[in-house]
Amino acid sequence: MSPELAFLQALNGISFGALLFILAAGLSLIFGMMDVVNLAHGAFYMLGAYIALSVVRTTGSFWVALVAVPLALGALGLVVEPLLLRRLRGRHLDQVLITVGVALVITDLIRLKPDWGAEVRTLPPPDALAGSIAILGNDYPVYRLFVIAFGVTLALSLAALHRRSRAGALIRAGVDDAQMLSALGVDTDRLFAVTYAIGAALAGLAGVVAAPVLGLQPGMDVEALVLSLIVVVVGGLGTLGGAQVGAALVGPADTFGKVFVPQFALFFIFAIMALVLLLRPSGLLGRIRVIR
Amino acid sequence: MSRIAGLRPRVGGLRPRAPGFVALGLGALALVTFPYWSRDWESSRYATTVLRDILVFAILALSLDLLMGYVGLPSLGHAAFFGAGAYAAAIASQRLETEALFVTLPAGVLVATLLALGIGLFAVRASGIFFLMLTLAFAQMVFSFAFQATDITGGSNGFAGVRRPELFGISFSAAEELYVLVAVSFLATAFVLWRITRSPYGRTLVAIRENERRMRALGYDTRAIKLSAFALAGALAGLAGALSAYSLRFVSANDAGIGTSITAFVMVLIGGAGTLAGPAVGAAVVILIERVLNSYIPFSQTVLGVVFVVFVLAARQGVVGAARTAWARARG
Amino acid sequence: MSRSTTTNELAKRRGYTYRLTRRQFLIASSAAALAACGPAATPSGAPATASAAATAGKPLKLGILLPFTKVYAELGNSMKRSADLYIKSKGGKFANRTVPAPIYEDEANDPQVGLQKTQKFIDQDQVDVMLGIVATPIAYAIRNVVDSAKLIFIETNAGGNALTRATTDCKPACKSKYIFRSSFTSWQISNPIGEYMASKKGVKEAFTFVSDYGFGTESQADFTAGLTKGGGKVTGTLKAPLGNNDFLPFVTQLKAQPTKDIYSFFSGTDAIGYIKAWNQLGMSAAGYKMNGAGFLTEQDVLKEVKEQAVGAITSLFWAVTLDNPENKAFTDLYQKEYNLLPDVFAVQQWDGMRAVDEALQKLGGDTSDKDRFIRALEDTSFKSPRGDFAFDKDTHNPIQDMYIREVKVVGGQAVNVISDKIARVQDPGK
């Protein structure tokens, strides 16, 4: 492999990694705050992509979708959390289970909606990002570079929010000890609802950004869910840094794995995950958490 | 059967009295002989196949429940052992050119057990979500092997032409006889698990789930015990797999795939983890909704999702748990 | 073994009236309880006698197994539309048999489910003819079941070679006298184009890029054999895992190798991802040429990638632009009914229905003698939207013309324009 080819493949890998970070951020946030593995994450992602499809068809603008979809999914999160999850507060396993039911219903309804579900769809990137530019004398899609930029910006701004803002302080405190937070007079119901809504909004955002790359089709929900689970587990559950590290490792690894050992492509990233977990049982940046 | 293995609130459980045993025995007999006494109904054959598929999955769900409900290890890779059992039975029959049940069935169980020992050695070091993801990862490797090793497994095209077994001159090639084999296997599995969960060993498993550190402090080698449970669950899943191969005369890579793992997982949860009847009921509910109800309505998956939500909200111990609570209430 | 007695037993049981069995059924088991909801949606039919000659005039029960969920759902929908339209266009009658709405079942792209539903067609619905199945593994899975139940099955999509061939030990499948196919084999859509490229277009070298599963591998091998026969050679191969979500790394690799003619087999989502990555990396401008089996640029793909596929050369037995009276009538009818262009899946289903219809005309509607039914199907030939259609009497696979098509923009729309034809392509059968 020539250096030039290696560079291009590395670029492919980084852009896939950026995509994975966007995909996994919401899952990581919800887990960190609520100790709930939100198995509806893939369904939220899928719903986001299909709403984006409708928004782009009606308004003709990708950018409108980029704003509207997270709002819509956030609103859905604000309904789902109080309606279903709150009743099960303190029963983490049941909270995880109920998200499976939510996912089953959402994906089935998407399939049944005539202009959405069954067909294979694509969402074209916005015109401004649709072309290719020359990199080392090769055409390279601008949209992939946008994905990298978007992923990095999202990571930086989430990190800044996390460290600097009051919401971030609450979340950090909540991750450490939600009960204590409640005792201090913080409305944890509201905090959890908002966290869940943000997590859902991030899943929807991922749906919009990923749609021009990965397309829309039945089954995309499970794929997205498994990929984001791998990312957060490899990086370390429930920490933003974990999702970043996980994505930065898994994205390029997947790309190079496909190219170098295509016969193992089906499980290359699973093998990496298994290896990481065997060496570091709580992920690369994970702290050992005792959840009982 | 519903009140054996009482869990969570009541470890130990009540002892079925004599009338209970008689009713249970009659029920078991009726189950095993279903295709014969239903013979005259128009739908007997179809009902027999559906019931057969339910029982195969019930064995799989029961075996998974040993891990999820008793040891507290949620596996999302249980299909690996189901698939391994199915392939091993099919391949043994083809390579050794035999239909002998006492060759192909043990082959399926043995391969699944060995695979479970191998995977379990690593997997039981983790717990919770990490255990879940590790089992998923290993199962995915098994799946891709099945999917790609065309010379051995038939690859993506699947393994066709599995022969149905025979035992000491009794052939299980007809639908009715095969059903009996499956039903007897199911009852045997349920019985074995019943004995195990009521034994000191079974209580050790529950104790590990409740407080592994204390058990370790008491001198138990918890990792070895968890591994033994993992291997046992794998063996029973392999049994289910072999029966599936006989039933369908076909093994597909999907049998070892994530879809089958999720199905088994959902069956255990709907029926109620940590009970014996639960996974069987869960298997019936899921198969009836996904494969029978879906012949008549287009949105059966939505129904399944709603059932799921309702049971998690209203009956946290699944169908069986809810029934037990209602029964207890009725008795005052 | 005892399978052979199935039909007799079924015939015996048909003597029972419906109501009684239903009540018993409800009492019996929860399994049966749900199944009993069925007759509301399925044609229950009057109690019939078992006497053989009496099938003429009885409603014709069709069981159609298609994917309505999972990744191939849209293919299933398209084929269902086509089947319904065919029956409607015949006024609900084939010969003297009324044809009620077929019983549709969802195979969910899973062999286990497909097998279970096939068993339902045989045991519960007792259909006269079964049609459908999109994915090859499912067709292979049910092969033995329909064969031993002596159920006539018309495969309307899956193209795995083995289903209509003589193979060693019937692995992974083999032809059956009860199985016909109204679609194609992967040999038919892959081998002739290879030979054509080498002998007619002077392509001496090609590189192959396919999905890494049975069907992709088969297509790649058949293409390679064809190209070699025509005097060309394949310089290398790249395989993408099934359900691969990102094609950029693969197309990057393609661009890093020197052979300009690329042959590929992808369909649906994969085809869309591949064609998009191809454009993003400027492959055409760099002199690379896209070739493939026809599904690479069928309508489901073209409507999403549009002019990005321009220049791709593929072979298939049909194109929506194909100029013949039958195709015009078919596309007009389909468009009028559904306000949609038909796709190749609709054509395959249409011809499958047509074959049953034609055979029934020959038999005067009497389907009781399976061997006569099979002979009638074997003798069936007609003008299809794809051109002349006839079954190969030995394999039951269609003998059909392959069209070489190039994607061009016509009237502002990207369509497959037919540039050449390879006449009467017949699968070698082994």
Nearest to C308 by CA among C330, C332, C331, C275: C275
**Which residues, numbered 233 to 292 in chain B, qualify as contacts with chain A under a Cβ-Cβ cut-off of 8 Å?**
258, 266, 269
Phi, psi of C135 (to 5 degrees): -95, 135
Chains with at least 3 CB pairs less than 8 angstroms from chain B: A, C
Which of A262-276, B290-304, B316-330, C156-170 is predicted least confidently?
B316-330
pLDDT of residue C70: 85
Nearest to C171 among B34, B161, B244 (CB): B161
Partner-chain contact C172 B160, CB within 8 Å: yes
Least-confidence region, from A128-137, C20-29, C84-93: C20-29
Structure tokens belonging to residue C218: 């088969």
Higher pLDDT pick, C394 / B14: C394
Contact between C313 and C290 under an 8 Å Cβ cutoff? The reply is: yes
Residue-range definition of the domain harbouring residue B211: 45-263
Which has the closest alpha carbon to C233: C253, C204, C263, C257? C204
Task: Check CB contact under 8 Å for C37 and B293.
Answer: yes
- The two beta strands, B159-160 and B250-251, are antiparallel
| Contact flag A277-B130 (C-beta cutoff 8 Å) | yes
Binned at pLDDT 50, 70 and 90, residue B157 comes out as very high
Give the containing element (helix H, strand E) for B171. Answer: strand B170-171
What tokens were used for A2?
A: 């020539």
pLDDT above 90 for C205: yes
Question: What would the DSSP string read from start to end of B5-45?
Answer: S--TT-SS-PPP-HHHHHHHHHHHHHHHTHHHHTTTSTTHH
- DSSP letter, residue A5: H
* Residue B129 placed within a domain: yes
**Tokens 């869940």 found at:** A196
A29-33, A125-129, B326-330, C6-10: which range is least confident on average?
Answer: C6-10
Residues of A near B (Cβ–Cβ under 8 Å) read 37, 84, 87-88, 91, 94, 97-98, 100-105, 107-109, 111-112, 222, 226, 229-230, 233, 237, 263-264, 266-267, 270-271, 273-274, 277-278, 281-283, 291
Cα A97 to Cα C208: distance, rounded to the nearest angstrom: 45
What letters, b where the CB count within 10 A reaches 16 and e where it falls short, cover B256-274? bbbbbbbbbbbbbbbbbbb
Query: Is the Cβ pair A233, B133 closer than 8 Å?
Result: yes
Alpha-carbon torsion C195, C200, C204, C205, what sign?
A: negative
Phi-psi category of residue A192: left, alpha or beta, with phi > 0 → left and psi -120 to 50 → alpha: alpha
Band of pLDDT at residue B78, cut at 50, 70 and 90: very high
The answer to whether residues B308 and A98 touch, using CB atoms and an 8 Å cutoff, is yes
Bridge pairing between strands C97-98 and B170-171 = unpaired
Q: Which helix (H) or strand (E) holds A138?
A: strand A138-141
Q: Tell me the pLDDT tens digit for each residue of A150-187.
A: 999 999 999 898 888 887 888 778 777 777 888 888 88
3-state secondary structure of A89: coil
Is there a domain that residue B199 lies in? yes
Digit-coded pLDDT (tens) for B253-273: 999 999 999 999 989 988 877
User: CA-to-CA distance for B177 and B166, rounded, in angstroms?
Assistant: 10
Q: Tell me, what DSSP letter sits at residue A132?
A: E
Contact across the interface for C213 and B147, Cβ inside 8 Å: yes
Minimal CA–CA distance to C232: which of C209, C210, C255, C205? Answer: C205
Give the C-alpha separation, B208 to B223, whole Å.
Answer: 10
Query: Which residue type does C233 have?
Result: K
Name the burial class of residue A86, with classes exposed (0-12), middle (13-18) and buried (19+) by CB atoms within 10 angstroms of its CB: middle
Give the tokens for residue C219.
């297509």
Residue B301 touches partner A, C-beta closer than 8 Å:
yes
Contacts of C338 in chain A (CB under 8 A): none
- The bridge status of strand C387-391 relative to strand C97-98 is unpaired
Distance from CA of A259 to the nearest CA of C (A): 7
Over residues B310-319, the mean pLDDT reads: 73
Interface A:B, Cβ pairs < 8 A:
100
Residues A284/A245, Cβ–Cβ less than 8 Å: yes
Nearest-CA distance A47 → chain B (Å): 15
C155 within 8 A of C182, measured Cβ to Cβ:
yes
* Domains defined for chain C, CATH in brackets: 1-41 (no CATH), 56-184+330-396 (3.40.50.2300), 187-316+400-425 (3.40.50.2300)
* CA dist., res. B59 & res. B304, Å (int): 21
Q: Is A101 on the interface with C (CB under 8 A)?
A: no
Q: How many CA atoms lie within 13 A of B88 on its CB side?
A: 29
* Interface contact A118, partner C, CB < 8 A: yes
Is residue B19's pLDDT more than 90?
Answer: no
* Contact at CB, B161 and C170, closer than 8 angstroms: yes
Residue B165 lies inside a defined structural domain of this protein: yes
Instruction: State pLDDT tens for residues C56-75.
Output: 679 999 999 999 988 888 89
For CA atoms C265, A7, A223, A71, the dihedral sign is negative
**A16, A111, A120: residue with CB nearest C69:** A111
How many cross-chain Cβ pairs, B to C, lie less than 8 Å apart? Answer: 148
Q: Which residues, in sequence order, are CB contacts of B18 under 8 Å at separation 6+?
A: none
Answer yes or no: do C238 and A262 touch at CB < 8 A. yes
The pTM (predicted TM-score) of the whole model is: 0.89
Closest CA to A27 of A42, A13, A15, A5: A42
Residue C264 has pLDDT above 80, yes or no: yes
**What pLDDT sits at residue B10?**
40
A176 or A222, greater pLDDT: A222
Mean of pLDDT values over A36-56: 95
ipTM of the complex: 0.90
User: What residue type is B324 in one-letter code?
Assistant: R
Give the nearest partner residue to B156 out of C105, C137, C173, using CB atoms. Answer: C137
What does the block give as tokens for A256?
Answer: 């190079």
Here the tokens at position C409 are 């923009």
Q: Considering the domain boundaries, does residue B60 fall inside one? A: yes
User: Is residue B202 in a domain?
Assistant: yes
Distance CA A232, CA A218 (A): 24
C-beta atoms of B308 and A94 within 8 A = no
CA C380 – CA C59 distance, rounded (Å): 22
* Residue-level pLDDT at A92: 74
Q: How is residue A128 annotated by DSSP?
A: G
Q: Which of C334, C267, C264, C330 is nearest to C302 (CA)?
A: C267
Paired tokens of C189? 């859509």
Q: Hey, what amino acid is at B196?
A: I
> Which residue reads 């507060």 in tokens?
A89
- Asked if pLDDT for residue B225 goes beyond 50, the answer is yes
For A219, which of C68, C71, C246 is closest by C-beta distance?
C71
Distance CA A83, CA A99 (A): 12
φ/ψ of B100, rounded to 5, equals: -65, 125
Phi, psi of B75 (to 5 degrees): -95, 130
Q: Given C34, C214, C242, which is nearest B157 (Cβ)?
A: C214
Interface of C with A (CB under 8 A): 68-71, 73-74, 76-77, 212, 238-246, 248-250, 252-253, 255-256, 268-269, 272-273, 276, 280-282, 285-286, 300, 304-305
In A, which residues are within 8 Å of B124 by CB distance? none
Residue A96, C-beta contacts closer than 8 angstroms, at least 6 positions apart: A36, A37, A38, A39
Task: Say how far apart CA C283 and CA C288 lie, in whole Å.
Answer: 5
pLDDT over threshold 80, residue A209: yes
- Cβ atoms within 10 Å, residue A41: 29
Residue in chain C closest to A257 (alpha carbons) equals C249
Asked if A218 and C70 come within 8 Å (Cβ–Cβ), the reply is yes
Closest of B246, B261, B205 to residue B66, by C-alpha: B205
> Which tokens is B76 given?
């999302």
Say if the Cβ atoms of C70 and A258 lie within 8 Å. no
Q: What integer best gives the mean pLDDT of chain A?
A: 89
Q: What is the mean pLDDT of residues C329-358?
A: 96
3-class secondary structure for chain C? Answer: CHHHHHHHHHHHHCCCCHHHHHHHHHHHCHHHHHHCCHHHCCCCCCCCCCCHHHHCCCCCCEEEEECCCCCCHHHHHHHHHHHHHHHHHCCCEECCEECCCCEEEECCCCHHHHHHHHHHHHHHHCCCEEEECCCHHHHHHHHHHHHHCCCEEEECCCCCHHHHCCCHHHCCCCCCCCEEECCCCHHHHHHHHHHHHHHHCCCCEEEEEEECCHHHHHHHHHHHHHHHHCCCEEEEEEEECCCCCCCHHHHHHHHCCCCCEEEEECCHHHHHHHHHHHHHCCCCCCCCEEEEEHHHHCHHHHHHHHHHHCCCEEEECCCCCCCCHHHHHHHHHHHHHHCCCCCHHHHHHHHHHHHHHHHHHHHCCCCCCHHHHHHHHHCCEEEECCEEEEECCCCCCEEEEEEEEEEEEECCEEEEEEEEEEEEECCCCC
Per-residue buried b or exposed e for A137-168, using 16+ beta carbons within 10 Å of the residue's own CB:
ebbbbbbbbbbbebbeebbeebeebbeeeeeb
* The total number of structural domains that make up chain B: 1
pLDDT above 70 covers a percentage of chain B that reads: 93
What residues contact C16, with CB distance under 8 A and at least 6 apart?
B40, B41, B42, C47
CA distance A46 to chain B (A): 16
pLDDT for res C54: 54
Burial degree of C7 (CB within 10 A; 0-12, 13-18, 19+): middle
Mean pLDDT of C222-239: 96
Q: Cβ–Cβ of B47/C29 closer than 8 Å?
A: yes
Could you tell me how far CA B160 lies from the centroid of its own chain? 23
And the tokens for C322? 């194909």
